[in-house]
Amino acid sequence: MPAEWERHEATWISWPRREGQSFPESYDRVLPALVSMATGIAESEILRINISGIEQEREVRGLLSSVAPMGSVEFFNIPTNEPWCRDHGPIFVTRKTSPSLAINDFGYNAWGGKYPPFGEDDAVPTVIARHFGYPLFNPGFILEGGSIDGNGAGTLLTTESCLLNPNRNPTMNRESIEQGLRDYLGVEQILWLGDGIEGDDTDGHVDDITRFVSRSTVVTAVEPDITDLNHAPLAANLELLRSMRLVDGTSLNVIEMPMPPRIDRQGLRLPASHANFYIANASILMPAFGGDSDQAAAGILSELFPDRKVIPIDCRELIWGLGAFHCLTQQQPSVF
């Protein structure tokens, strides 16, 4: 599985439905963030959008036509229940044999069965593989794309709180999960963190807390306020990261990224995090939340990716769906 910063042929997204569960009574308010995300991606690579029928395609075309380079936008009539393509979409891997690109269709159960129905989401990777004629592998266990983050050189980050949760794979232990990841993602090493952030309904996806930005460098979210419930788990993860080594013995270069201000809505804390950025071919789409941490996070990412434009996009409405840009996207590696 290539690293996210390696060249993409395309990025896949699944456009949300107005009647879906993700943005109750707020669909129109999340559209500006979705349009900005789509435009930022299409400026440097193909944007492939799963839509649920011709009427939704007309709607999305209308939203994008005046701002996005439509020559780079492709629509696919692949219905989905919800928009979180990182978790239900195809996980692409490259191969030394022809064809050089294949798709893994891990099982998907809406984060432990929390949000039925999810049958259309679960079918997405297989539908895409059949459409393009890519080889398809069925690993036979549940795995969401947001629960893992790789460096493209044999190492994968994940969390115990998610992958070891019995609501995913109750018959599998740590060793069998690790073996499955090695077999289907071509990795040698799995690095385990502990818990995720408060309000994360995925049981602690790693893409909200810690991300590889190069072979041996990670950015990790930190919360300095000791009264905040995120302080302890993020501090524990930071300590773990500082002790970790890659297969060749290289220590991780750990860059701390501040958490944004707390956001609450209707009695719920929302899982706002700058770590849920997406690395496109020419840009970094960074969730912004209206606080001082926006500028700090953008500065960190600009230093780490000097050849890409960091685009902060206001996600104070989008986060009501409990995810941001990394959750919404899935990269398709270039094989040329």
Name the residue type at position 163.
L
The pLDDT tens digits of the residues spanning 204-231 come to 999 999 999 999 999 999 999 999 999 9
Per DSSP, the three-state class of 158 is: strand
How confident is the model at residue 24, as a pLDDT?
Answer: 86
| Mean pLDDT estimate for the chain | 97
Tell me the Ramachandran region of residue 156: left when phi exceeds 0, alpha when psi lies from -120 to 50, beta otherwise. beta
- Contact of 121 with 108, CB cutoff 8 Å: yes
Give dist(CA 7, CA 149) in Å, integer: 16
Residue 328: pLDDT over 80: yes
How confident is the model at residue 201, as a pLDDT?
Answer: 97
Q: Which domains does the chain have, with CATH numbers?
A: 8-333 (3.75.10.10)
- The catalytic site residues sit at 327
How confident is the model at residue 90, as a pLDDT?
Answer: 98
**CA neighbor of 204 nearest in space, from 160, 257, 157:** 160
Give dist(CA 205, CA 201) in Å, integer: 9
**CA neighbor of 3 nearest in space, from 184, 138, 136, 148:** 148
Tell me the Ramachandran region of residue 234: left when phi exceeds 0, alpha when psi lies from -120 to 50, beta otherwise. alpha
